[in-house]
């Protein structure tokens, strides 16, 4: 034995040393091997994607190709083909999001013709069945402001472009559609009578002109060689004081227009008033062709009858009864007929398919008898804010929880409560057993919290003012609420009470602006059911400067809403919570003047008042303006107060909960453009650090959590995107003793700031940090790229402590050596090949599982998934082999007993020897 130990010992020590040295490599490779990607068979297991196109601007039915489609062009500059039966996107092309991608014309013949941009224009032809580009040509006109009113249409296979110059003339150019070859040069038609109120109904351009009381209705065929003007006194058609011209929403038959509530057609160079009354001023009118002659379709939202649609025969003026109905259950605010197609069945019945677009951006394809074939909620292409809301616990769980809440009461009372809840549990179990599987299969799963709290409701606030409640696991819309007056620009959402406090319901508040007045508009609702609660819809009579939620809840567990208005007055909702205001501070950053003001809120016994206590001017001589202002997420937890260094000392993090990162941008006389990142304490107004990036532009997407910050900017000199990261440390000693609350007002020490910048070899569009319940898990950065991929990067790769060539100690700490370019491997793409077009934001939320963070990416598409930055350490893998492990266990038990038996036999034999 002695021999052996001598031989082994040095080797063992050597082995340990060897292990120590490869330790660093192990750490390094474990980081490089970003094995966080999913398996191929997990596609769609935790994630879903919904494709949208945006509010429909132009739509036409494709009647040529075999697969029935609707071709749509949208406000979001998307050209798409929708399946007629399901409404699914068959294919889509996304143009530039700027004005150069603006779709001016959609025309369907044997191919799709689009005109995009606004001087320069691009004319493209697409294959109708496949959607592939066939030809394109560009057109640039002399720059002038009149091109904004220009009109395009296709007539006899020629593309016509008309530019009206109000008060003087009309310029008309005709091009060969496919080549752009100009047939005749641009012709100028003198027309001094045109103004901004004119309407086009190809090829006629119609205006009301003349002095009041002596007005004329004028119209001209702008494509004919001979200038012919149709002119009639307006009084012949209307006696109304202010006459308005409106085009039809859809017109495929005869040129015509709407004069107030009258339909006027242009036939044989004559105006012809039609004897069909427009039922409602707001009605949408369409002229469509059908087998029995042209039809006039009207739709509006009747106060009594709900959504109403009527049809009249244009020739006879008689009502067509089979196309016309009212439906109270359909909520289609301000309907607009986007496209209509009418055919006739064998039984001489009209069959119409009508695509209706509403003010809430939703599109409905409606068939005969008001049957809605499908609905597309296109408002979701423009999500402004997202809030993840916990579901309430089931009634049974709530009863059990309440059992433990009640502290008072005798032993006997507690015992009876216990018995009661046990009985309820038993009842529930019996009921589920009796109900069987049949009922369970039909009903959707109840909206109750699951064991890991992975099932939530996402409340999505959209640009159109529509609010959606969405199931995060299935992506199904649970409820929707349309607020026509809500302007969601810079709107914020707060969960003021979670569903955790039965019998009180969850409470969510949206603070936005009123569409017309710009004053504050507050919408409070129950996020689980979408019903208004509390203040409901409250229209304030003043503009809001800043809003926040009080950190203390009142007796009803409701967090009060604090509003700071333009006159620096404070409003508390509900007012009863005013005495709870204590140690409350707010800051307001003015975008254009770059001045940040801090306010202290005090309750003087009667009311709460705000006092301006500090202001910081970040304008840098007037040129800078604030682009972003980011503070820490409100409900953030911090797991560790420091980092253990290799020499066993601790480097303490500077965990200032009031820290605000302000990014400013502006021109500079020497360095062209300058980006400044300033860390300001939101309570005291102290500037903790400031960093200047010269020749940089477009600062974007700041991230802020714990003690670290990151932001992106475009490096103009090197022409690349870079991400700057900062980490704030207090040093090897704590500033405040452990356990003491951090105070911004005590001590004016500046933290030690470490920083680095990395090259992002792509164009980032959005960024977010993973969020977990207790922040035990590593932080990962989710970076959305313009290519449509979301890349998950560990913070360790962005860490400012990465040294260029790590010395021994840094190696031991596990720091990756510095590399200027960030790796963006395909394995780290969380949405694999499900490309997400025009991503704008990523939202993350913690789940009940510490390892898992929920992610929702918004943009033109919605994509939901869940990520596990440190892998699912608290959950068995979904491919865990229960079968194998039970077989192995059984085999082991068997082997133990059999060897035991054989050993006993051997013993016996030995004993007999």
Partner 1 sequence: MNTKIILIYISTFVLGNVYCASDLTEEEIGHVIEGRVFPPEDPNNSNWQLDTRVHVNGGEYIGFVREDGTFVVHNLPSGSYVVEIVHPDYMYEPVRVEINSKGKYRARKVNYVQTSQVIQVPYPLRMKPVTKFRYFQVREQWRLTDFLFNPMVVMMVLPLFLIMILPKMMNDPETKEDLKQISNLAKISDVPEMSEMFTKIFNRGSVPKPTSSKAKQIKKRQ
The residues in 113-132 that bind partner 1, with binding defined as CB under 8 A, are 117, 120, 122, 124, 127, 130-132
Give kind and range of the element (H or E) at residue 24: helix 2-32
Query: How near is the Cβ of 100 to partner 1 at its closest, in Å?
Result: 7
Choice from 106, 323, 834, 868 touching partner 1 (CB under 8 A): 834
Query: How near is the Cβ of 393 to partner 1 at its closest, in Å?
Result: 36
Note whether 787 binds partner 1 by CB under 8 A.
yes
- Applying the rule CB under 8 A, the residues between 747 and 776 that interact with partner 1 are 759, 761-763, 765
- Applying the rule CB under 8 A, the residues between 788 and 807 that interact with partner 1 are 788
- Applying the rule CB under 8 A, the residues between 711 and 740 that interact with partner 1 are 716, 718-720
Note whether 835 binds partner 1 by CB under 8 A.
yes
Note whether 91 binds partner 1 by CB under 8 A.
yes
Let me know if 728 is exposed, middle or buried by CB neighbors in 10 A (0-12, 13-18, 19+): buried
Task: Give the nearer residue to partner 1 in terms of CB position, either 659 or 793.
Answer: 793
- Applying the rule CB under 8 A, the residues between 682 and 701 that interact with partner 1 are 697
Query: How near is the Cβ of 720 to partner 1 at its closest, in Å?
Result: 5
The answer to whether 572 and 578 have CB atoms below 8 angstroms apart is yes
Note whether 702 binds partner 1 by CB under 8 A.
no
Choice from 20, 99, 109, 140 touching partner 1 (CB under 8 A): 140
- Applying the rule CB under 8 A, the residues between 658 and 677 that interact with partner 1 are 666-667, 672-673
Choice from 371, 539, 557, 900 touching partner 1 (CB under 8 A): 900
Query: How near is the Cβ of 297 to partner 1 at its closest, in Å?
Result: 34
Choice from 637, 904, 905, 906 touching partner 1 (CB under 8 A): 904
Task: Give the nearer residue to partner 1 in terms of CB position, either 774 or 906.
Answer: 906
Task: Give the nearer residue to partner 1 in terms of CB position, either 97 or 375.
Answer: 97
Give kind and range of the element (H or E) at residue 32: helix 2-32
Output Rg (C-alpha) for the chain, integer angstroms. 34
Closest by CA position to 340, among listed 459, 250, 417: 250
Task: Give the nearer residue to partner 1 in terms of CB position, either 86 or 179.
Answer: 179
Query: How near is the Cβ of 183 to partner 1 at its closest, in Å?
Result: 18
Choice from 6, 11, 41, 434 touching partner 1 (CB under 8 A): 41
Query: How near is the Cβ of 37 to partner 1 at its closest, in Å?
Result: 5
The answer to whether 630 and 604 have CB atoms below 8 angstroms apart is no
Cβ contacts of residue 397 below 8 Å, gap of 6+?
A: 448, 449
Choice from 31, 37, 542, 595 touching partner 1 (CB under 8 A): 37
Task: Give the nearer residue to partner 1 in terms of CB position, either 199 or 860.
Answer: 860
Let me know if 271 is exposed, middle or buried by CB neighbors in 10 A (0-12, 13-18, 19+): buried
Tokens 């006879």 — which residue? 316
Note whether 829 binds partner 1 by CB under 8 A.
yes
User: Residue 470 and residue 637: Cα distance in Å, rounded?
Assistant: 26
Note whether 289 binds partner 1 by CB under 8 A.
no
Q: Which stretch binds partner 1 (CB under 8 A): 19-27, 428-436, 828-836, 852-860?
A: 828-836
Closest by CA position to 580, among listed 556, 550, 610: 550
User: Residue 798 and residue 323: Cα distance in Å, rounded?
Assistant: 63
Q: Alpha carbon 210 to chain centroid distance? A: 48
At 883, give phi and psi (nearest 5°).
-65, -50
The answer to whether 509 and 523 have CB atoms below 8 angstroms apart is yes
**Three state DSSP letters for 293-322:** CCEEEEEEEECCCEEEEEEEECCCCCECCC
Count of chain residues binding partner 1 (CB under 8 A): 74
Choice from 27, 49, 87, 134 touching partner 1 (CB under 8 A): 134
Cβ contacts of residue 15 below 8 Å, gap of 6+?
A: none
- Applying the rule CB under 8 A, the residues between 804 and 823 that interact with partner 1 are 820-821
Q: Which stretch binds partner 1 (CB under 8 A): 32-40, 65-73, 598-606, 702-710?
A: 32-40
Cβ contacts of residue 316 below 8 Å, gap of 6+?
A: none
**What are the CB-based long-range contacts (under 8 Å, 24+) for 396-402?**
396/421, 396/424, 396/425, 396/428, 397/448, 397/449, 398/502, 399/424, 400/425, 401/502, 402/502
Cβ contacts of residue 187 below 8 Å, gap of 6+?
A: 171, 172, 173
Query: How near is the Cβ of 361 to partner 1 at its closest, in Å?
Result: 23
User: Residue 359 and residue 362: Cα distance in Å, rounded?
Assistant: 7
Note whether 871 binds partner 1 by CB under 8 A.
no
Task: Give the nearer residue to partner 1 in terms of CB position, either 733 or 879.
Answer: 879
Note whether 569 binds partner 1 by CB under 8 A.
no
Q: Which stretch binds partner 1 (CB under 8 A): 236-244, 504-512, 735-743, 779-787?
A: 779-787
Note whether 96 binds partner 1 by CB under 8 A.
yes
User: Residue 727 and residue 724: Cα distance in Å, rounded?
Assistant: 10
């Amino acid at each position: 034995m002695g021999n052996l130990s001598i031989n082994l010992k040095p080797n063992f020590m050597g082995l340990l040393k060897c292990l120590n040295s490869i330790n660093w490599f192990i750490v390094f490779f474990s980081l490089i091997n970003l094995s966080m990607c999913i398996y191929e068979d997990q596609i769609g297991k935790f994630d879903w994607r919904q494709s949208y196109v945006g509010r429909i601007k132009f739509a036409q039915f494709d009647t040529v190709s075999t697969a029935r489609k609707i071709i749509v062009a949208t406000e979001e500059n998307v050209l798409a083909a929708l399946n007629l039966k399901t409404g699914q996107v068959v294919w889509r092309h996304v143009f530039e999001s700027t004005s150069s991608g603006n779709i001016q014309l959609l025309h369907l013949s044997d191919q799709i013709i689009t005109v995009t941009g606004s001087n320069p224009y691009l004319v493209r032809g697409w294959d109708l069945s496949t959607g592939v580009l066939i030809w394109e040509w560009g057109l640039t006109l002399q720059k002038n402001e009149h091109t904004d009113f220009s009109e395009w249409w296709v007539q006899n296979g020629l593309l016509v472009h008309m530019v009206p110059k109000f008060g003087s003339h009309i310029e008309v150019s005709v091009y060969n559609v496919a080549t752009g070859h100009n047939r005749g040069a641009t012709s100028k038609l003198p027309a001094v009578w045109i103004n901004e109120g004119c309407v086009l109904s190809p090829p006629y351009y119609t205006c009301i002109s003349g002095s009041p009381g002596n007005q004329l209705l004028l119209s001209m065929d702008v494509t004919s060689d001979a200038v012919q003007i149709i002119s009639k006194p307006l009084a012949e058609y209307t006696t109304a004081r202010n006459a308005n011209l409106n085009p039809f929403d859809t017109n495929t038959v005869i040129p015509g227009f709407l004069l107030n509530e009258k339909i006027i057609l242009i036939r044989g160079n004559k105006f012809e008033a039609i004897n069909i009354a427009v039922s409602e001023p707001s009605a949408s009118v369409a002229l469509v062709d059908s087998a029995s002659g042209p039809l006039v379709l009207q739709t509006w939202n009747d106060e009594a009858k709900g959504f109403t649609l009527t049809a009249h025969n244009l020739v006879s003026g008689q009502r067509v009864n089979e196309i016309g109905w009212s439906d109270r259950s359909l909520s289609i605010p301000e309907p607009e007929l986007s496209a209509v197609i009418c055919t006739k069945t064998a039984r001489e019945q009209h069959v119409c398919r009508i695509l209706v677009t509403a003010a809430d951006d939703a599109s409905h394809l409606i068939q005969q008898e008001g049957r809605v074939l499908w609905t597309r909620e296109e408002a979701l292409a423009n999500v402004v804010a997202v809030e993840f809301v916990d579901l309430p616990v089931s009634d049974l769980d709530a009863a059990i929880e309440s059992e433990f809440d009640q502290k008072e009461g005798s032993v006997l009372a507690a015992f009876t409560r216990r018995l009661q809840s046990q009985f309820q549990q038993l009842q529930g179990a019996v009921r589920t057993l009796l109900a069987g599987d049949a009922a369970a299969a039909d009903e959707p799963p109840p909206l109750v919290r699951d064991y890991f709290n992975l099932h939530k409701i996402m409340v999505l606030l959209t640009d159109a003012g529509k609010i959606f409640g969405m199931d995060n696991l299935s992506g199904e819309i649970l409820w929707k609420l349309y607020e026509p007056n809500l302007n969601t620009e810079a709107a914020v959402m707060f969960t003021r009470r979670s569903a955790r406090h039965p019998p009180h319901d969850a409470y969510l508040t949206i603070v936005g602006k009123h569409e017309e007045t710009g004053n504050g508009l507050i919408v409070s609702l129950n996020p689980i059911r979408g019903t208004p609660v509390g203040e409901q819809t409250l229209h304030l009579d003043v503009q809001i400067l800043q809003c926040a939620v009080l950190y203390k809840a009142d007796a009803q567990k409701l967090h009060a809403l604090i509003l700071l208005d333009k006159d620096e007055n404070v409003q508390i909702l509900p007012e009863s919570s005013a005495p709870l205001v204590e140690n409350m501070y707010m800051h307001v950053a003015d975008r254009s003047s770059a001045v940040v003001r801090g306010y202290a809120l005090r309750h003087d016994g009667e009311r709460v008042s705000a006092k301006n206590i500090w202001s910081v001017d970040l304008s840098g001589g007037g040129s800078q303006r604030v682009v972003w202002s980011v503070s820490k997420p409100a409900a953030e937890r911090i797991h560790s107060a420091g980092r253990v260094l290799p020499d066993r000392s601790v480097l303490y993090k500077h965990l200032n909960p009031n820290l605000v990162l302000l990014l400013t941008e502006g021109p500079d006389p020497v360095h062209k453009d300058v980006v400044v990142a300033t860390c300001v304490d939101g309570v005291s107004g102290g500037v903790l650090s400031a960093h200047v990036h010269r020749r940089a532009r477009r600062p974007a997407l700041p991230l802020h959590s714990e003690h670290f910050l990151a932001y992106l900017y475009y490096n103009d000199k090197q022409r690349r995107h870079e991400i700057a990261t900062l980490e704030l440390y207090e040093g090897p000693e704590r500033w405040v003793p452990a356990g003491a609350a951090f105070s911004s007002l005590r001590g004016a020490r500046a933290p030690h700031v470490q920083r680095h910048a990395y090259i992002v070899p792509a164009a980032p569009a959005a960024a977010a940090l993973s969020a977990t319940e207790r922040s035990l898990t590593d932080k990962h950065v989710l970076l959305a790229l313009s290519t449509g991929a979301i890349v998950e990067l560990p913070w360790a790769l962005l860490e400012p402590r990465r040294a260029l060539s790590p010395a021994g100690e840094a190696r031991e700490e596990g720091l990756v050596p510095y590399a200027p370019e960030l790796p963006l491997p395909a394995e780290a793409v969380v949405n694999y090949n499900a490309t997400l077009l025009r991503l704008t934001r990523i939202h993350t939320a913690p789940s009940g599982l510490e390892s898992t963070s929920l992610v929702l990416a918004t943009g033109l598409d919605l994509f939901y998934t869940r990520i596990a930055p440190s892998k699912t350490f608290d959950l068995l893998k979904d491919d865990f082999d229960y079968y194998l492990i039970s077989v192995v266990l059984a085999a082991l038990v068997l082997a133990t007993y059999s060897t035991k038996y054989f050993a006993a036999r051997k013993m016996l034999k030995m004993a007999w020897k």
